[in-house]
C-alpha cells in the first residue's frame, strides 16, 4: 500500500531544506499518495515560470540558456516549456525545428539543475484528439530524455482541454464530454510515455481550462500502468477566485500540480491588480499546504515573456524591467514560507462520539472552530460584503442562522430541514446554499476502526433544473485530509459520489420541504455500494461538496451490533494498533493495541529509537523527546506484523 504523506511530513522536508531544493538535492521525482516527493520520499514543491512559447517578436524574452539562468537566479527550480501547437512558431508548422528547440530547453534546464515540464500546449480547439502529432512528439522527446540519461523532465500531455464555449459552467454536462475526450486521448499518449520514460511524473489536463478536477475523481482515468500521474489546475487571480475552492477541496483526494497561474484575468490581460494580488496570496497559501488535504502543491506562473499583458513578467526584457506580475512572483520565490497545517479545533472543545455499535447522526451545527480556510471553506466568504447581513462581517444565509442566530457570524449556511414532510425543524440542522468546492470539518472520537455503512438525509430538490446541466450534487469525504470513501472490500477507486435527491428529484421549490434518507450512489458506478473507512481515535472528518448541491441534512454512520455478521470484535481485530496524536509534538505519543505486542519505532535512517512491550487493551504513554521527522512504528503480535507511520513535528 502506498504511504500517504501529510503536511507534517512536508514540514520536516522544508525544515531541512528550506526552499532551496532543486534537482541536485531532490533527484528524480515521484508521487507518494497525493504528494509530489523527492527520490528519497520527502515532499517537495516546484516553483517557477512557464514560458510563453516561441513567437515572432518575442524571441528576446525567451531565447537561450540565459533565460533559465535568470529564472534560477531569481529562485525558480522549475520551468514549464510551452510547446504551442498552432500559434506562433507552432509545432504543426515546423515539427523538426520545434522538437530540437524543446530538446535544447531540456538541456538548458538540466544544466541549471532545474526541473522542466514539457507542455503540449493545445488550446483552440479544446479537444486534444483534434490535433495530430502528440504521440510522435512525446515518443521522440521521451527517447531523447532516455538517451541522455535525464530524469528531471515532467510531461504535461494536454494544456487546457475545453469545450470552446466561453463562460460554460465547469460542471455542465458538456464538460462531461470534455473529460471523455481527455480519457480517449490519454489512452493513446500515456502508453507512449510509459514505454519511453515510464517512471516520469505526468500531468493530465482537466476539463474547462484545467479547473474541473471533480471529473477525474468521479470517473477515474486509466493511468495505463503509470505510477506518477498528477492532475493540472490553472488559475487566474483577476477573475477566477471562485474556483480556488476546487483545488482546496480536491487536494484531499488527488495529486495536483498548478501548472499555470497568473495575476491577470483568464485572457492574460485585464483585471484590478490589487484585487488579483489578494487572490494570488490565497492561491499561494493553498499551494503551501493550506488546503483540505494539507498537500504541498507545485506551481508555474504565467508567463516568462514581455508581451505587454498583465500576466507578462516583463515590460521590457532587454531593459530588465519587471512588471508588477514579475515582481510579485520574484518575491514569492524568495519566501521561506512557514508551512502550517489546517489545525481546526472541536466545537466547544468536544468531539462528536461514534461508538461503532449504535447508529450515529452527525450534528452539522457542531463544525470545527478555526474559521474560513481552516475549519471550513464557504464561498459566501467572497460575497459577504454584498449580502444582506449588515450587522456582522460574515453572513450565515441558512434559516437557522437568520432566525435563531445559530453561528450566525460565520459563512457556513446552517438551516433547518423538514422531518419527512412534517414541520420545519422536525428534522435536522442542515447545510444549505451549497456552491461548488465548499467543505467543512467535524472532529470525531471514533471508538472502533472499521468499514461502515452510511446514509445521507437529503431533500428532493434538484440543484439545477436546466436540461443542459448535469453532474450536480457531488460530494466527497475525508478523514484527516485523506479520502475515506471506499467500496465494501476497502477499494478507493471512486472518490466522489452523488448527493441524491431523496424521492427522485424535483425542480419545484416545495421539494425543499421533502426530506428523507438516501443511499450513497455514483452515476459512474451503478450497482456499487459505498462505505466510509474510519480509524480508531480522535480524527477530523470532512465533507467536501465537489459541485453545487441542494442541501445536506445529516450523515448517519451505521453501527455494527455484536449480533450482526460483522461485529465490534471484528472491527477491533481489523485495527490492532492505534497511535495518537499523529502528528505528535516532540515524540509525545500514545500507543494502544488489541493484542499483546512488541513495539519498535525506527527513524528514517533505520535507527531504533524505542523498543518495548504493550499489553492488549492498554495504552502506553511515550515521552520520547524525538527530533522532528518521519518514523516507522513496527507492531508484532499473534495477528502478524504491521507497520505504521508516525510524524513528529
Give the C-alpha separation, 86 to 295, whole Å.
35
Q: Is 115 in contact with 77 (CB distance < 8 Å)? A: yes
Give the C-alpha separation, 122 to 204, whole Å.
13
What SS3 state is found at 480? coil
Reply yes or no on whether 260 is catalytic: yes
Closest CA to 141 of 59, 133, 225, 159: 133
Give the C-alpha separation, 614 to 597, whole Å.
5
- Residues whose CB is less than 8 angstroms from the CB of residue 547 and which lie 6 or more positions away in sequence, other chains included: 171, 214, 436, 463, 471, 472, 473, 474
What interhelical angle do 173-197 and 134-148 show, nearest 10? Answer: 30
Give the C-alpha separation, 204 to 222, whole Å.
11
Instruction: Name the H helices within 306-384.
Output: 324-334, 380-383
Q: Is 329 in contact with 268 (CB distance < 8 Å)? A: no
∠ CA 147-150-155, nearest 5°, is 100
The catalytically annotated residue of 42, 156, 260, 438 is: 260
∠ CA 469-472-475, nearest 5°, is 165
The catalytically annotated residue of 160, 309, 381, 438 is: 160
- Residues whose CB is less than 8 angstroms from the CB of residue 99 and which lie 6 or more positions away in sequence, other chains included: 137, 140, 141
Q: CA Rg, the chain, in Å?
A: 25
Distance set, CA 298 to CA 79, 230, 257, 569 (Å): 11, 11, 5, 44
Bridge partners (DSSP) of residue 78 are 48, 115
The continuous run of DSSP H or E covering 500 comes out as: none
Closest CA to 335 of 79, 19, 48, 43: 19
Burial of 355 (0-12, 13-18, 19+ CB in 10 A): middle
- Residues whose CB is less than 8 angstroms from the CB of residue 92 and which lie 6 or more positions away in sequence, other chains included: 85, 86, 131, 132, 133
Catalytic residue ranges: 160, 260
Amino acid at each position: 500500500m502506498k504511504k500517504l504523506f501529510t503536511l507534517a511530513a512536508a514540514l520536516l522536508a522544508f525544515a531541512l531544506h528550506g526552499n532551496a531544493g532543486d534537482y541536485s538535492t531532490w533527484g528524480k521525482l515521484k508521487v507518494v499518495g497525493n504528494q509530489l516527493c523527492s527520490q528519497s520520499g520527502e515532499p517537495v514543491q516546484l516553483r517557477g515560470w512557464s514560458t510563453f512559447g516561441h513567437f515572432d517578436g518575442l524571441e528576446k524574452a525567451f531565447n537561450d540558456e540565459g533565460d533559465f539562468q535568470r529564472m534560477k537566479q531569481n529562485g525558480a527550480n522549475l520551468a514549464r516549456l510551452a510547446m504551442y501547437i498552432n500559434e506562433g512558431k507552432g509545432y504543426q508548422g515546423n515539427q523538426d525545428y520545434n522538437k530540437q528547440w524543446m530538446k535544447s530547453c531540456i538541456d538548458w534546464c538540466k544544466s541549471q539543475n532545474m526541473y522542466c515540464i514539457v507542455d503540449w500546449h493545445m488550446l483552440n480547439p479544446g479537444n486534444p484528439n483534434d490535433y495530430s502529432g502528440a504521440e510522435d512528439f512525446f515518443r521522440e522527446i521521451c527517447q531523447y530524455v532516455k538517451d541522455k540519461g535525464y530524469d528531471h523532465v515532467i510531461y504535461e500531455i494536454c494544456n487546457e482541454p475545453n469545450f470552446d464555449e466561453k463562460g460554460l459552467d465547469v460542471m455542465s454536462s458538456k464538460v462531461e464530454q470534455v473529460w471523455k475526450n481527455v480519457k480517449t486521448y490519454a489512452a493513446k499518449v500515456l502508453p507512449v510515455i510509459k514505454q519511453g520514460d515510464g517512471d516520469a511524473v505526468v500531468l493530465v489536463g482537466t476539463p474547462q481550462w484545467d479547473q474541473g478536477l471533480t471529473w477525474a475523481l468521479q470517473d477515474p482515468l486509466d493511468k495505463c500502468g503509470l505510477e506518477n500521474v498528477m492532475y493540472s489546475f490553472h488559475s487566474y487571480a483577476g477573475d477566477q477566485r471562485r474556483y480556488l475552492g476546487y483545488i482546496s477541496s480536491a487536494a484531499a483526494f488527488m495529486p495536483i500540480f498548478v501548472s499555470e497561474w497568473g495575476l491577470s484575468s483568464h485572457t492574460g490581460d485585464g483585471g484590478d491588480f490589487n484585487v488579483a494580488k489578494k487572490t494570488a496570496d490565497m492561491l499561494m497559501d493553498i499551494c503551501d499546504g493550506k488546503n483540505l488535504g494539507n498537500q504541498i502543491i507545485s506551481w508555474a506562473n504565467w508567463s516568462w515573456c514581455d508581451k505587454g499583458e498583465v500576466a507578462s513578467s516583463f515590460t521590457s526584457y532587454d531593459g530588465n524591467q519587471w512588471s508588477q506580475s514579475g515582481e510579485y512572483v520574484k518575491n514569492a520565490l524568495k519566501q521561506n514560507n512557514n508551512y502550517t497545517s489546517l489545525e481546526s479545533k472541536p466545537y466547544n472543545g468536544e468531539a462528536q462520539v461514534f461508538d461503532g455499535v449504535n447508529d450515529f447522526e452527525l450534528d452539522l451545527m457542531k463544525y470545527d472552530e478555526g474559521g474560513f480556510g481552516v475549519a471550513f471553506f464557504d464561498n459566501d466568504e467572497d460575497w459577504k460584503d454584498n449580502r444582506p447581513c449588515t450587522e456582522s462581517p460574515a453572513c450565515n444565509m441558512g434559516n437557522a442562522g437568520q432566525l435563531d442566530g445559530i453561528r450566525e457570524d460565520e459563512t457556513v449556511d446552517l438551516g433547518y430541514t423538514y422531518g419527512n414532510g412534517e414541520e420545519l425543524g422536525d428534522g435536522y440542522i442542515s447545510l444549505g446554499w451549497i456552491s461548488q468546492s465548499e467543505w467543512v470539518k467535524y472532529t470525531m472520537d471514533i471508538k472502533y476502526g472499521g468499514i461502515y455503512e452510511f446514509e445521507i438525509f437529503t431533500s428532493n430538490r434538484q440543484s439545477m433544473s436546466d436540461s443542459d446541466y448535469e453532474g450536480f450534487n457531488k460530494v466527497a469525504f475525508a478523514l484527516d485530509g485523506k479520502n475515506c470513501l471506499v467500496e465494501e472490500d476497502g477499494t478507493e477507486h471512486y472518490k466522489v459520489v452523488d448527493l441524491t435527491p431523496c424521492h427522485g428529484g424535483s425542480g419545484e421549490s416545495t421539494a425543499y420541504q421533502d426530506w428523507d434518507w438516501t443511499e450513497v450512489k455514483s452515476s459512474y458506478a451503478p450497482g456499487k455500494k459505498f462505505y466510509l473507512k474510519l480509524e480508531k481515535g480522535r480524527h477530523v472528518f470532512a465533507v467536501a461538496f465537489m459541485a453545487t448541491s441542494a442541501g445536506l441534512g445529516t450523515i448517519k454512520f451505521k453501527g455494527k451490533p455484536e449480533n450482526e455478521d460483522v461485529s465490534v470484535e471484528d472491527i477491533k481485530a481489523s485495527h490492532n494498533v492505534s497511535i495518537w496524536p499523529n502528528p505528535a509534538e516532540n515524540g509525545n505519543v500514545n500507543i494502544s493495541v488489541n493484542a499483546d505486542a512488541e513495539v519498535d519505532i525506527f527513524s528514517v535512517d533505520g535507527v531504533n529509537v524505542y523498543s518495548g512491550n504493550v499489553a492488549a487493551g492498554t495504552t502506553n504513554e511515550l515521552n520520547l523527546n524525538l527530533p522532528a521527522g518521519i518514523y516507522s512504528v513496527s507492531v508484532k503480535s499473534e495477528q502478524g506484523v504491521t507497520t505504521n507511520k508516525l510524524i513528529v513535528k
